[in-house]
Structure 1
């Protein structure tokens, strides 16, 4: 892999699958796994409203990259205050905010097929966010304490929560494009077995997938804070619960007594669009990379 900033994967990101198996499981009745919020406050409002409508208690877990577009001080402070009131794990965005230097860039570890212009813009987006974060040392200190992985249990279902994949914070092996690789089936089978989980809940790659593996179930929610589905302006989260979902779902299955579903997040699109443009006007790095998707995702990425 190239060591170009934005493509490299720092050694500190590599926890290894067995580390997930070694964790004690936190019990939950209903679990929302929320990856890739990307600073979208209206999406966070919608998620909290969804949780309030559930039967029984809901545990919210933000599995990384809850920061990204929120480069304004007020938005940065509010996102982190509200997210860190729940449970969270770090994404590469959070991991690099307090890092010395910029050798890893955004920390995304983009594969070679991602255009270099996208990588360069992501590095500049993160550099701007890092400047904002530096003005909030108390938040940086809290982010530095976040784990990279977590383990939960719902009913008899064991869930491994990661940001990237089973081995690395910024791994891409849970991206839909990785499943065509020659060794992918064997690696995936072994990942579930080594981690001792029935479900992996991930994010990072921005493209959702809900896939049965012979050893378990993978739910990559794509993004909670950006559109994922053709013709819709909604995010996705992974819900694991003892209770069936009440509303629509994008995909779903049952696993060892638990309902595992990808649930749409119908946030106030106009409010989010205005917030985004206030920080990232026409022609800016984030506008060039993301505004088309934020405005109207044209087709189903799957």
Structure 2
């Protein structure tokens, strides 16, 4: 894995992390038929273990697995989930939670508007994360790259958390093609793989593409306890993005959250499949609350 300088993605930031140059890890060309991508483990150990059981069944090697960050957040096992993922030796980038925990901040840096329900609830779960994460894991968080660059098939990819310019930027399927294309062009790649927003989608814009695999730590606000990841395959000059749902023992993760006295809205969401607040959602995504998401594929052919 090679490191190369990359602009800082923190909002209004001109500083480097603990004196280090901001880094993007270059994975080079990935020779594989299939990649597995997931985001937001959120300290949900049960969902994370279930995902890797699935990866084992699919025969996907660790170096062909990508995580878009936010290893820890709402759920009860931030430390255990962090060690589990570190020991898997997969490709992981920093989410805003890793950035701000590594810097020992009291804020999660999620990008929630001040005073909203999400902002108020974040005080509780982020304080819990800070109390659970040790110095060893904080150091590991600080060592993770902010972005990944690689080629797969005949396309170039960048993996970011929010956007290439801002770790906390929410990007959704309803955003304009102009906005997405501008982000992709600024990153200098054919495709951006992102996280942060919590909802899976693929948007193909001409010869470019934006892909979000969704998250495994929390349902997708569709009224089911399922969580989401994706498989990206290459064949005959085309790339196929496959959005996959995952079932896991959500009630066990929920019981741990209740025992830890974490915000009830998020613990209830693990089984209800409904977010406690829609503050971050554009109108289009908010209207889809409770509608069962379907597994789907998107085929990307370059002209």
Give the structure-2-normalised TM-score: 0.75
Q: CA deviation at 1:130?
A: 1.1
Task: Determine if contact 1:207/1:223 at 8 Å carries over to the other structure.
Answer: yes
- Structure 1 residue aligned with 2:103: 99
Q: Give SS of 2:248's match.
A: coil
Q: Does 1:294 align with 2:270?
A: yes
Q: Which of the residues 278, 295, 299 maps onto 2:259?
A: 278
Q: CA deviation at 1:218?
A: 1.6
Q: Which of the residues 191, 197, 214 maps onto 1:222?
A: 214
Structure 1 unaligned runs (5+)?
Answer: 1-7, 244-253
- Structure 1 residue aligned with 2:138: 140
Task: For 1:150-189, list aligned pairs within 5 A.
Answer: 150-172=148-170, 174-176=171-173, 179=175, 184-189=176-181
- Structure 2 residue aligned with 1:236: 228
Distance 1:185 1:20 in 2: 28
Q: Give SS of 1:93's match.
A: helix
Distance 1:119 1:54 in 2: 38
Distance 1:110 1:101 in 2: 16
- Structure 2 residue aligned with 1:125: 125
- Structure 2 residue aligned with 1:84: 86
Q: Give SS of 2:157's match.
A: strand
Root mean square deviation, CA, Å: 3.0
- Cα deviation, 1:233-268, whole Å, max 9, x if unaligned, reads 11111321237xxxxxxxxxx9x4332122112212
Q: Give SS of 2:198's match.
A: coil
Q: Which of the residues 27, 30, 36 maps onto 1:27?
A: 30
Q: CA deviation at 1:195?
A: 2.4
Task: Determine if contact 2:225/2:273 at 8 Å carries over to the other structure.
Answer: yes
Distance 1:9 1:196 in 2: 20
- Structure 2 residue aligned with 1:199: 191
Structure 2 unaligned runs (5+)?
Answer: 1-9, 275-289, 294-303
Task: Determine if contact 1:13/1:169 at 8 Å carries over to the other structure.
Answer: no
Q: CA deviation at 1:122?
A: 0.7
Task: Determine if contact 1:13/1:170 at 8 Å carries over to the other structure.
Answer: no
- Cα deviation, 1:259-294, whole Å, max 9, x if unaligned, reads 2122112212222222222223xxx5x223x23422
Q: CA deviation at 1:14?
A: 10
Q: CA deviation at 1:142?
A: 1.0
Distance 2:187 2:23 in 1: 5
Distance 1:228 1:271 in 2: 18
Q: How many residues align?
A: 261
Task: Determine if contact 1:156/1:258 at 8 Å carries over to the other structure.
Answer: no
Distance 1:186 1:23 in 2: 27
Q: Give SS of 2:58's match.
A: coil
Q: Give SS of 1:11's match.
A: coil
- Structure 1 residue aligned with 2:73: 68
- Provide closer, same or farther for how the CA distance between residues 167 and 238 of structure 1 changes in structure 2, counting only shifts above 3 A: farther
Q: Which of the residues 13, 18, 38 maps onto 1:11?
A: 13
